[in-house]
Amino acid sequence: MLSEKDQLEKESLERAHWLKTFSLFITIVKSFLFIICATLLYITFEDSFDFNFQKQTPNKSAYASNQTYADSEDWDKVENGIHVASGLVYVDNFDIIRANCTACHSGKLVAQNRATREGWQQMIRWMQKTQGLWDLGKNEPIILDYLAKYYAPKEVGRRANIDIAEVEWYILELDKE
Ligand code: HEC
């Protein structure tokens, strides 16, 4: 039989043990809650984390370059079929291209890209979804025709095979003279 003192000591030891386990449990729950909150916050603000930086930089430079266009007298200058201020191929309905594709960024960003018609359409959809590009309406097919024609993928890769049957062979005479 335990003495009363031993009995009390045992009980308080048990209580201490239980408290320890409980506080460990609370710590684990807290960690989980923290992770869940952090994840929720991240999901909610993910877009602004990712795109804030990109969104602002090109817009700023675009305004800056629009400023220079407006200041210069070369707004409509065309050299060798290239509209100088935007760097884009000049065509009859160029104003449609200029109005819709050089408002946010330089035309050079357009001119340095190559894609098929579908590829261009995807880029336009991407800008509409994430960069605030407006609905192009009836101008869209005109713009797509323009882009697909002048900014089509460059021919890359190896040249076509030589058609051996078509080649006119000749003997190379090395010991002539
Ligand atoms: C409302 C603003 C806005 C308009 C108008 C706009 N864009 Fe953009 N465009 C952007 C932004 C923002 C980017 C991202 C720039 C960056 O990533 O540095 C971008 C990027 C691009 C890129 C580069 C894509 C890449 O993968 O790097 C191309 C090409 C492009 N635009 C073509 C066009 C064409 C063609 C038009 C006309 C139909 C157009 N843009 C009109 C906002 C616009």
The CATH number that domain 73-150 falls under is 1.10.760
Whole-angstrom distance, CA of residue 142 vs CA of residue 64: 27
Dihedral angle at the C-alpha atoms of 118, 123, 125, 130, nearest 10 degrees? 160
Residue 97 CB coordination number (10 Å): 23
Q: Whose CA is nearest to atom 31 of ligand 1?
A: 110
pLDDT in tens, 16-26: 999 999 999 99
Whole-angstrom distance, CA of residue 28 vs CA of residue 157: 58
The residue extents of the domains of the chain are 1-71, 73-150
pLDDT in tens, 136-151: 999 999 999 999 999 9
Q: Quick check: CB of 124 below 6 Å from ligand 1?
A: yes
Q: Name the residue of 114, 131, 135 whose CB sits within 8 Å of the most ligand 1 atoms, as the mutation to test its pocket.
A: 131
Residue pair 64/52 in contact by the 8 Å Cβ criterion: no
- The helix/strand/coil state of 83 is strand
pLDDT in tens, 67-103: 454 555 678 889 999 999 999 999 998 999 999 999 9
Residue pair 25/66 in contact by the 8 Å Cβ criterion: no
Q: What is the pTM of this model?
A: 0.58
Alpha carbon of 129 to ligand 1 centroid (Å): 11
